[in-house]
Amino acid sequence: MRDVAIIGVGMNKKWGELWEMSMRDIFVEAALDAIDNAGVDHVDSMYVGCMSGGLFTGQEHIGALMADYLGQCPVPATRVESACASGGAAVRAGFMEVASGMSDIVLVGGVEKMNDVSGDDATYALATASDQEWEAFSGVTFPGLYAMMAVAHMHSYGTTIEQLAAVAVKNHANGSKNPRAQFPMKITVDTVLSSVLVADPLHILDCSPITDGAAAVILCPADRAKQLAKNAPVQILASTQASDTIAYHSRADLTAIESTAKAAAAAYKMSGKRPDQIDLFEVHDCFTIAEIMVMEALGLVEKGKGGPAVEAGETAIGASIPINASGGLKSKGHPVGATGVAQIVEVVEQLRGASGERQVAGARVGLTQNMGGTGASSVVHILEVM
């Protein structure tokens, strides 16, 4: 298996409600940014992570569409879907295409255009990541599912609503230093707790937003990276994925995200890195409780200790385990198919020392964790600057 490196990263100038751009415009802006950042003049193959082009925009066949609008026909172009882990799964597909020797320069993008449908329709589209026959069918939507996860965690470990709010406060503080963030305003625990209740105990400021956006990376064989790249290349030490039951109610442990724990264990083994050798983490904080459960699944804190660790400031930039320096899904935004790719964009920029005000000092190794649904799929990448 060939080693694989990332030589270019790109995103839209700003994520948010991009009314003047269609899905293809959004993708092309991010992809051109990545191509320019890499300094390559062509790509050999493309992958596009996208959760639900059909329900959000009436468009499937998204790989070929994006190859066309990026001027890259006739390269192979495939769309990858794993709900909100679509972006991470797309990077893993691109990783294997380069690792296998099939292609040398692969563009992996992720995109979602979520604001062109009503809020009700967006909620319906997102609910297709849950079990349609047993969860969505009975009327539960994602805030409801994550609210159940929060209640279970509070019941088992004494996690508090203030600790949930502390995740949002920290991520908005980080996002306030990210020019691309959709919601860069700073907030306080009081702001969160006095915001409207969406699904008890989750307030609206515990929830990631509806976002239009895209992100892209350029991959190549590691042994060609230094020759090809115009910016510091970053090696992909591990690219792993795991699945779990589609329905939350089928899990053996309602307070755990087992797919993340399993993908992380495989990634630590593949990379030869322990959690304490990793300098920063971009994780899937679709709701504040998710970040706490993911910290535990990654082995960054003991089971049940996620809430207190966040509240104590241990996950801030400059602290021992910096999590979501980008602002996370919560502040940066969560265009579902793009998120997994954007996490990698953030880590690459951090490892290059190019993150400005939100730089994690001296970062050399980073981890991304991207998940779909209530954790029916998780993708983990570990990256190291070359």
Distance (Å) of CA 222 to CA 5, 96, 99, 333, 354:
5, 13, 9, 31, 21
Residue 336 CB contacts under 8 Å (≥ 6 apart), including other chains: 51, 52, 83, 84, 86, 112, 114, 126
Residue from the set 20, 41, 74, 120 that interacts with a copy of itself by CB under 8 A: 74
Q: Rank residues 146 and 157 by Cβ distance to a copy of itself and give the closer one.
A: 146
DSSP letter at 85 equals T
What is the smallest separation between the CB atom of 220 and a copy of itself, expressed in angstroms? Answer: 15
What whole-number distance in Å separates Cα of residue 85 and Cα of residue 371? 5
Answer yes or no whether residue 330 interacts with a copy of itself by CB under 8 A. no
Q: Rank residues 2 and 352 by Cβ distance to a copy of itself and give the closer one.
A: 2
Q: Rank residues 101 and 272 by Cβ distance to a copy of itself and give the closer one.
A: 101
- Contact between 214 and 18 (Cβ < 8 Å): no
Q: Rank residues 54 and 353 by Cβ distance to a copy of itself and give the closer one.
A: 54
Answer yes or no whether residue 240 interacts with a copy of itself by CB under 8 A. yes
84 is catalytic: yes
What whole-number distance in Å separates Cα of residue 146 and Cα of residue 292? 12
Answer yes or no whether residue 121 interacts with a copy of itself by CB under 8 A. no
- The residue whose two tokens read 């005000």 is 357
Q: Which stretch binds a copy of itself (CB under 8 A): 53-61, 194-202, 224-232, 322-330?
A: 53-61
Query: Could you say which of 172, 284, 334, 381 is catalytic?
Result: 334
What is the smallest separation between the CB atom of 326 and a copy of itself, expressed in angstroms? Answer: 24
In degrees, rounded to 5, the angle at the alpha carbon of residue 226 between the alpha carbons of residues 99 and 370 is 50
Q: Which two tokens stand for residue 15?
A: 């994520």
What is the smallest separation between the CB atom of 304 and a copy of itself, expressed in angstroms? Answer: 22
Query: Could you say which of 84, 207, 220, 286 is catalytic?
Result: 84
Residue 365 CB contacts under 8 Å (≥ 6 apart), including other chains: 237, 273, 277, 278, 279, 351, 382, 383, 384, 385
Residue from the set 6, 34, 89, 198 that interacts with a copy of itself by CB under 8 A: 89
Residue 274, classified by CB atoms within 10 Å of its CB into exposed (0-12), middle (13-18) or buried (19+), is exposed
**How many residues make contact with a copy of itself (CB under 8 A)?**
67
Answer yes or no whether residue 134 interacts with a copy of itself by CB under 8 A. no
Near a copy of itself in 245-264, by CB under 8 A: 245-247, 250, 258-259, 262
Task: Please list the active-site residues.
Answer: 84, 334
